[in-house]
Amino acid sequence: MSKILFCEDDDLVRKMLKVATRTMPHETVMAGDGLQALEIIERQPPDLIFLDLHMPGMTGGELTEALRGRAEWAKIPVVLMTGDPDNAASLAVARHGAAGYLAKPFHLEDLRKTIQQLLPQIAEEAP
Amino acid sequence: MKIPPIPEDEAERLAALRSLDILDTPAEERFDRITRVARTTFGVPIALISLVDANRQWFKSRFGLDVGETPREVSFCGHAILSRDTFVIEDALADPRFVDNPLVTEEPRIRFYAGHRLVGPGGHHMGTLCVIDRRPRQLDPPAVQALQDLAAWAERELNAVEWEEAARKLRQSENRFHAIFHSAALGIALVDRDGRLLSCNRALGRIFGYSPQELIVHEKLPFQLVVESEAIDASHLEPRAGEPGGHQVDVRSKRKDGEPIWLTLTVSRVEDEGGSEHFRILMFDEITQRHRAKEQLNLALEAEQAARRRLERLNQVQSQFISMVTHDFRTALTGIQGFSEMMRDEEFSPEEMREYATDINEDAKRMNALIASMLELSKGQDGSSREAS
């Protein structure tokens, strides 16, 4: 089973994500900030990571760059979640080397599609 | 007969003679009394004050002669003006230069002539004072001296016109200078090189709040001048070379009543004939009004710039706030949208439904609070107090 890490500082959004992904055929792990996310990644690297772009302490962008700097983590796709306008979000994706972004607020359908795109083999297994 | 030669300075001499404006004027007692004294002193029948014009000699004063003028070429005086010494012909008939002169061979039948030149403007010889007799004579040294003394007297009378005119012009020029000096809007002070006050005008007193009497009793100017926070006195104001119009500097000072004033000071030096410094002229142009206007303008400009900076800061704060609020709205909407879509599309227990509805409600409250703080910001004109929020 593939593993997805969500890093989101807002408690309610984090809770919503946890509930929304409970029926998906993936293991989901939640982190409240960048440092927590790094600990989880070090213990057991996930297959896909969703990062809130604006977080206190380490931002999603900084964390993405940190991952890109480590060979064993460089290939893990990162999706930035942000309430920024599209142009700012695209810029952040390019600058930090992320796979894409999910504009807040998003439909759960879009979340599912993003996961399917980035984890296709596992998504196909799903009913 | 020898025709009198023309002097080397003839052109200038004639110009000087004309400048006296005396030719062809009526007889005057001040000259006649001299020829009268000469005739008596020497016991001669003829005494003249003769002025040598281009082609004639003209008599300003004559005793014992009927004609007012004679041709220059036959004149004795034409010869006499050539020399600084007294010109004496003891016996014209014994002198080849005059033996056939018509003035000798005919009336007035001159035998003896003694003339001394009269010096006019520019040192040129205008004519002579001369005494003439119809018989030969000799002139002893005391007599020569007497003739010279009388000539000196005539010379003074001759030049008196000139002196009067010069004195009149000087007085006029002085009056004009005085009028300019005292009616000038510029404060003017003349000081010697040690800064001692020689003279000053009324405007200076007016500018500094002193009466002219008050100023003049001070040995030095009774106020201090400040150039860029450095106090100076008049003796320190060095006129600079290469500034013929004077050296200019803006200075600050105080009126007698303590009121601050600003001035543009021009310092120039006046040299004596030897080229050393005679005195200094200090000219004060009061620029207090101009200075104040400039200061006010600067203050206004500064205030305008401060306002502009504040506005820029406010705009920045506002745009940061808007971006922050947008982010927070979208975060809250993410929760609302996610939970509501799940509640719509999925099966939950009534407890779960209640819990998620509470979460949605929580997000709704957050959004309400955000709206409240946005309204607060739009109410305030000055965003600086909310910079920290």
Pairing status of strand A48-52 against strand A3-7: parallel
User: Average pLDDT for residues B97-111, to the nearest whole number?
Assistant: 89
Q: Residue A78: what pLDDT? A: 93
User: Average pLDDT for residues A3-12, to the nearest whole number?
Assistant: 94
Q: Does residue B41 carry a pLDDT above 50? A: yes
In 3D space, the residue among B60, B68, B66, B64 whose CA is nearest the CA of residue B112 turns out to be B64
Q: Does residue B127 carry a pLDDT above 90? A: yes
Interchain CB distance below 8 Å, A19 and B327: no
The closest CB to that of A108, out of B327, B331, B338, belongs to: B338
Name the pTM for this structure.
0.45
Which residue of A lies nearest to B342 if distances are taken between CA atoms? A20
Is B106 an interface residue toward A (CB < 8 Å)? no
Q: What is the pLDDT of residues B352-376, one digit of tens each?
A: 999 999 999 999 999 999 888 888 8
Q: What is the pLDDT of residues B197-224, one digit of tens each?
A: 888 888 888 898 988 778 877 778 878 8
Is B359 an interface residue toward A (CB < 8 Å)? yes
With cut-offs at 50, 70 and 90, classify the pLDDT of residue B236.
low
Is A56 an interface residue toward B (CB < 8 Å)? no
**B342-355 burial code (b ≥16 CB/10 A, e <16):** beeeeeeeeeeeee
Mean pLDDT lowest among B45-54, B112-121, B178-187: B178-187
Q: How far is B389 from chain A (nearest CA, A)?
A: 16
Q: What is the mean pLDDT of chain B?
A: 86
User: Average pLDDT for residues B337-344, to the nearest whole number?
Assistant: 93
Q: Does residue B383 carry a pLDDT above 50? A: no
Is A86 an interface residue toward B (CB < 8 Å)? no
A117 Cβ contact list (under 8 Å, min separation 6): none
Q: What is the mean pLDDT of chain A?
A: 87
Q: Residue B240: what pLDDT? A: 61
Residues of chain A with C-beta less than 8 angstroms from the C-beta of B363:
12
Spatial strand order in the sheet of B87-89:
B69-71, B56-63, B46-52, B125-133, B112-119, B87-89
Q: Does residue B15 carry a pLDDT above 80? A: yes
Q: Residue B387: what pLDDT? A: 44
Interchain CB distance below 8 Å, B359 and A15: yes
Percentage with pLDDT > 70 across chain B:
94
With cut-offs at 50, 70 and 90, classify the pLDDT of residue B239.
low
Q: What is the pLDDT of residues B129-160, one digit of tens each?
A: 999 999 999 999 999 999 999 999 999 988 88
Q: Does residue B267 carry a pLDDT above 90? A: no
Q: Does residue B381 carry a pLDDT above 60? A: no
Residues of chain A with C-beta less than 8 angstroms from the C-beta of B346:
23
The closest CB to that of A12, out of B330, B335, B342, belongs to: B335
Q: Residue A124: what pLDDT? A: 46
Using DSSP's 3-state secondary structure scheme, residue B196 falls into: strand
User: Average pLDDT for residues A57-84, to the nearest whole number?
Assistant: 88
In 3D space, the residue among B276, B279, B275, B259 whose CA is nearest the CA of residue B188 turns out to be B279
Q: Residue B234: what pLDDT? A: 65
